[in-house]
Amino acid sequence: MELTGKVAIVTGSGRGLGLAYAKELAASGAKVVVNDVDAATAEAAAKEITDAGGTAVAEVAAVGSTEAADALVARAVAEFGRLDVLVTNAGVLRDRVLWKMSDDDFDTVIGVHLRGTFTCARAAARQMREQGDGGRLILVGSPAGQRGNFGQTNYSAAKAGIAAFARTWSMELARAGITVNAVIPVAATAMTETIPALQGYVEKMRAGEPMPAFARQALAFGGPEDAAGLVAFLASDAASDVTGQCIGIGGDRLSLWSHPQQVATAYAEGGWSADAIARVWSTTVGAEPQSVGEKLPEPPAN
């Protein structure tokens, strides 16, 4: 994939998926602004990219505020003269069930994921519109935002909002030639090792063992590098007509998530009373209720 001449920002790219995205973009020819809240981590990531022959600089910022977003865009323009690609990857977890979740647990996750995606995308869109030759906003979502996940009120809500951002902004930015898509990755990272069904696979990968075919295919679970090709594709000219989509990637699987839509309807002349709904619910719109959460298949017996 040829990205020579492109300039990209990847938030939260000091490690994990963000680092994999930044490395893939740089390997494809893009100049990259690496971002992390920790200076040593950000500098190490930028050095890893430059040592491999790429071009990268580190910008230390806690994503969320307008000031941080503006600083990231300003750094890209100051260093490389423009901005073509933004990948909003920065994130944190504060998992709690609803009745145990504090205001701070909620606000921290919403602030980084949802507000951080908004402020960074707004700053990037302003720069791209001023340049006048299009651009790419690549937002990072999650299966939790598509399906919900136990113990992740804050994270699921933020990621669902990010999917809605992609759909809305794809319409608003179409005339400017800026595409907007959400990547829905599944990979072995610090954020997925907390999921009981995936912990064993994360441990295997860290031990240098190959990921089993069941994990890579049935669970769509692999390493961060397995999700990076999609980001490079969406950043490229080959994806100039792809916008407003939520695209899944992980292990050996590439997928397209559906947008929410009405799946069953019923009509009553004059409208619906509560009693009327109760009479027909189980035989009409409620006959096949929608499922929630990710339903992971069981591994084959040894």
Q: Kindly list the catalytic residues.
A: 155
The H-assigned helical ranges of 148-218 are: 153-172, 196-206, 213-217
CA atoms of 105 and 87, how far apart (whole Å): 24
CA atoms of 42 and 37, how far apart (whole Å): 8
Contact 140, 92 (CB under 8 A): no
Write out the two tokens for 282: 């189980």
Q: What are phi and psi of 61, to 5 degrees?
A: -165, 145
Write the CB contacts of 183 (distance below 8 Å, at least 6 apart in sequence): 138, 139, 140, 141, 227, 230, 231, 234, 247, 249
Nearest 5°: the CA angle 116, 120, 124 is: 170
Q: What burial class does residue 268 get, using C-beta atoms within 10 Å of its C-beta: 0-12 exposed, 13-18 middle, 19+ buried?
A: exposed
Write the CB contacts of 219 (distance below 8 Å, at least 6 apart in sequence): 186, 197, 198, 201, 250, 251, 296, 297
Question: Of 76, 70, 82, which is closest to residue 58 (Cα–Cα)?
Answer: 76
CA atoms of 65 and 37, how far apart (whole Å): 13
Pairing relation of β-strands 7-10 and 31-36? parallel
